[in-house]
Amino acid sequence: MSEENTDEVKVLEAEIERLKVEVKVLQQQQQKNHKDITLHFRGQMQDALAYVCGQTQGGEEEMVLSKLKEEVEEMEEDLKLQTEMNGISLKSCIIKTLQNSDSKLVQQLSLSGHCSELVFQVEFTLSEVKEGQRSERTISDLNVVLDSCDLQNFSSFLSRVEENKDLLLLIRTLRTFSDRCDDRTRTFQHFQEKFSSVVSLPRGCRSEVMSLNHRQLPGCILFVHWSIQVSTEGVVTPNINLLTKIPEQALQLFPSQPVGGAAEAFQSLLRILGPEAAIESVIRAVSLSSDI
């Protein structure tokens, strides 16, 4: 190994150690925040129960209601902030306690919500084991159900998430996948509005296919197929291809110019110009004019 590679390895190892320390600090802060929130909320609930049972007197009733109102507003603000940060909007959260003792708490959770247009439901069992002042949480029996038309490439990823009980990877990937779907939708809608005489979306703006045809070229259609692939590691990658549908009579007129070359040329445009500019170049070529 060269000296340059050795130095690079040392830098990477130092960066890994720094990240480990940062993760440990964040985990400790998260545990402290959870404990503070639990104690604070428990106190508010005790006051509310005392009020409901008629154990408060005089001005204490108004104080309890005021505190509860503030608590609800703070929780709503926290939920709004979390939604903006991770893009996940929860519709329901059902918690069922299976075991509760001084040393162990086992709960079954069922969450449903959506990330942009992607609807999901997650069920899992959360176990918390207490040992002195420390506690350890583990997730088991993770089951994920997604409702989307773009799930062909999700099956292997979901299997790995359920196997590894990796909720964080699931949430991060759902956000990235939804963002890429939104990018595709905006692009398709933009071109349909800008080139309405050429562009059509036969399956809607959220589908994978956009068709390009011209009234002076009957039967000749180009399809932009824009799929979004998800690897087992949660890497989200757009995959854009140009497909052709040309009548046999037209192909016989140009025997020396294979239509398949259009797909390769489109891939070259993608690498040089990017998706939007490459697609627009094809649209202008299909329109037989550069003025539309």
For the stretch 29-62, pLDDT in tens is: 666 655 655 545 455 555 555 555 555 555 565 6
> What pLDDT does 253 receive?
47
> Tens digit of pLDDT for each residue in 180-225?
989 999 999 999 999 988 899 988 888 899 998 877 767 778 899 9
Q: Which residues contact 165 (CB under 8 A, 6 or more apart)?
A: 124, 138, 139, 140, 142
> Tens digit of pLDDT for each residue in 248-270?
655 554 454 555 577 888 889 89
- Output the pTM of the full model: 0.65
The CATH architecture of the domain made up of 87-147 is Single Sheet (2.20)
Q: Which residues contact 117 (CB under 8 A, 6 or more apart)?
A: 148, 178, 181, 206
Rounded to an integer, the average pLDDT of 8-23 is 72
3-state secondary structure of 99: strand
> What pLDDT does 95 receive?
87
Q: What is the DSSP string of 105-167?
A: EEEEEEEEEEETTEEEEEEEEEEEEEETTEEEEEEEEEEEEEE-S--TTTHHHHHHHHHHT-H
Q: Is the pLDDT of residue 139 over 50?
A: yes
Sign (positive/negative) of CA torsion 260, 205, 270, 115? Answer: negative
Count of residues for the chain? 292
At residue 129, φ and ψ (nearest 5 deg) are -110, 130
Q: Is the pLDDT of residue 11 over 70?
A: no
3-state secondary structure of 226: strand
Q: Which residues contact 119 (CB under 8 A, 6 or more apart)?
A: 112, 113, 146, 147, 148
C-alpha distances (whole Å) from 173 to each of 81, 119, 157, 165, 252 are: 19, 14, 10, 14, 47
Q: Is the pLDDT of residue 18 over 80?
A: no
> What pLDDT does 205 receive?
85
Q: Write the DSSP symbol of residue 93.
A: E
> What pLDDT does 168 receive?
85
Q: What is the DSSP string of 235-263?
A: -EEEEEEEEEE--HHHHHH-TTS-TTHHH
Which structure tokens are listed for 273? 């110009």
Query: Do the beta carbons of residue 266 and residue 278 sit within 8 Å?
Result: yes
Give the integer Cα–Cα distance in Å for 286 and 262: 12
Give the integer Cα–Cα distance in Å for 153 and 218: 34
